Structure 1
Amino acid sequence: MKLAAYAVQETSARGRVYPEAESVSRTPWQRDRDRVVHSTAFRVLQYKTQVFINHEGDFFRTRLTHSLEVAQIASSIARSLQLNEDLTQCLALAHDLGHPPFGHAGEWALQEVMKEYNGFSHNDQSLRQVTRLEQRYVHFDGLNLTWESLEGLAKHNGPVLKPDPYLQTYNQYYPLELSSYASAEAQIASISDDIAYHSHDLDDGLRAGLLNLNELRDLPLVGEALHEAKKAMNDCQFTEHFDNRLRHEMIRRIIDYLVTDLKTQTLRNIEALAPKHVDDIRYAKIGVVQFSDEVGKANQQIRQFLYQNLYYHWRVNRMSRKGKQLVKELFSILSENTDLLPKEWQKRLQKASERKQRKGELRVVADYIAGMTDRYAIEEYQRLTDLAVLA
């Protein structure tokens, strides 16, 4: 497929930190995507919480299925806008590589315990994962992704005016031009994340019985999708699994509304900007990948609804509290007794100890915990304490 002039292209690519001969059969961003897919961090996403902890049911989203859904939506949008689909897919698949166990509860726990030591954020951790923590190659740590992929990971939410400490340090070593926007491909990956989790968290909330369809009737865009889904179901010949079919029809329509509006508004923005090169996208005054004002407001209302009615539902709060407490206690045990860390992590710890950096030692412990799945964190806690948790 011929790419638009403002897409990320091989002719304008800025290369990798460690020079490598490029593949004769794959683009640089196909290689990046494949490295992400084969990474340890990507594989363990299958047992990391999206909203519901792993043992609560086999049919709820995990960080892995969420990432795959983001990649599908993002790829479709990029292709229709003649953008670099490989780069978009890579960023969509990599955006949650740094998420710790138990979703945002685990992240909040690590933020608290690392508050005096440069804190913790899953975005910062994703960059650490692909630049340092993955140890698969003989010539370098990390995945040695292209500049464009690293830029997209660092700036997918827009210009970074107050970078996290690791990003700030890394940017001095390998400048990612943090004060500008990222490529249109990175912007698509970011907003596709919103589309995926808003629609699919509604789906999981309904499946779990924490939400009901009556609550959604007056929610902008969602209520319209529900109304149209009911009309379609009235003409449907199927009577079995009616509620499941209705739910899926509604979710399908929500995704379609959001994606269609996003593509339409983004094309308007691109026509107004008239970019001739990817740098015209980067140095624009606003991000070009956006919803229309009306749908953007509706999307924010969906987000607010989910926070009020799902993410802080009392049943979710109970599990989140347990997950947060477990992570904090794991950190306390391992930071005070670093000889309990596995052998390969002892080696990483030794480097920090040689530099007499307590901050570095604690970062190793945080890295170790951040890489755990929900299941492994529970089992590790039980091994260290003989206490059962998260029942």
Structure 2
Amino acid sequence: MSERILIVDDDVDSLKLIGLMLQRQGYEVLVASTGQQALAKAKNDRPDLIILDIMMPDMDGYEVCRRLRHDPTTQPIPIIMFTARAMVDDKVAGFEAGADDYLTKPTHPAELASRIKAILARSAAQNRAAGSHALTVGFIGAKGGLGTTTLAVNVAAALGQNDPTILTDFRPGVGTIGLSLGFGRSTGIANLLSRPASEITPRAIENEIATHNSGLRLLLSSARPKETLLMITPDSASMIVRHLRTLARNVVVDLGPSLTRLSARILQEAELTVLTVEPTRIGLTMANDLMHELDQIGISESRISIVLVNRAQSSLAVPWQEAEKILNHPMTAIISPAPEVAFQAAEAGVPIVLFQPNAIVASQFTKLAEEISTRSRVMAGTGNT
């Protein structure tokens, strides 16, 4: 599929002329005539390149460029400033705002085409390199009902405050992330998995990604029961995860409870597995069994972070120190019960870390995200995977 280029210019003639030239080159063209339109289209349509004029009525190109670079979801998009301003100071201002290249009008079409081709090639190479260093974290519960999805959503939201992050749930038929964040019946995963493997491309995935108001990007399953009947191959799921790694700095995958052929394959792709457990004898026994199974498929203890989730205050819960001894593994985090905050955040369709950032549980989620990020970078640097 051809690359998408967003042209931003308040001059209708320029839009038509440049757009026609790009279409003849085989590119898909998007247009915007104001700064606000440009920001909205860049965020929603995720073009592969932006050609940006400076002089516009509502917001100049410098400010548009700065805002695009400030937003994690649009920060990686290459930008060419294409303007009649030819002074050295104008060019310096453009590069300082974050432009990748600067061309002055009039420019021969062949030169513009060559600059576009060069920047797109460089961007593709950078995306491939970023994908090789992307952080993929799989969340799995030792049993159902532990809040594994809530944990994944909030860790992803915390990571997304600093780096482009995609949250996905490979749970067709039982996916609840879309419902919890106000997206209703989200069928992105089902749509992709209904395609032949050869058609599961980064662009196809991009077309199925939704964006939350917070900037967090989402590839979702729905809770429609019929989706549980989909024939899902681990190879297709693996392909989706690998492509996601080229589209974001962090990929967070909610796998729900228990180990399946599908979740096993995805966890093998991940740098880190976050295992949620509860402080009960039954829960810890199930966690022990799951850790043994993970070891059998090549996921060592060094690649596992255990999070103890307290769903309710109880004097009968196993103390965390004893839980560590039972599992023979340290706890990375302990999450406090916060049913009221969780309910309110779900009703608002906002992750807890953004809905009530000063809450104790929000700080626990944020700290966990920081520890996961730090640990995974260290693992990547030492090759300990």
| TM-score exceeds 0.5 | no
> Which has the larger Rg?
2
TM-score, length-scaled by structure 1: 0.27
TM-score, length-scaled by structure 2: 0.27
Greater RCO between the two (CA within 8 Å, min separation 6)? 1
Q: Which one has a larger percent helix, Structure 1 or Structure 2?
A: 1
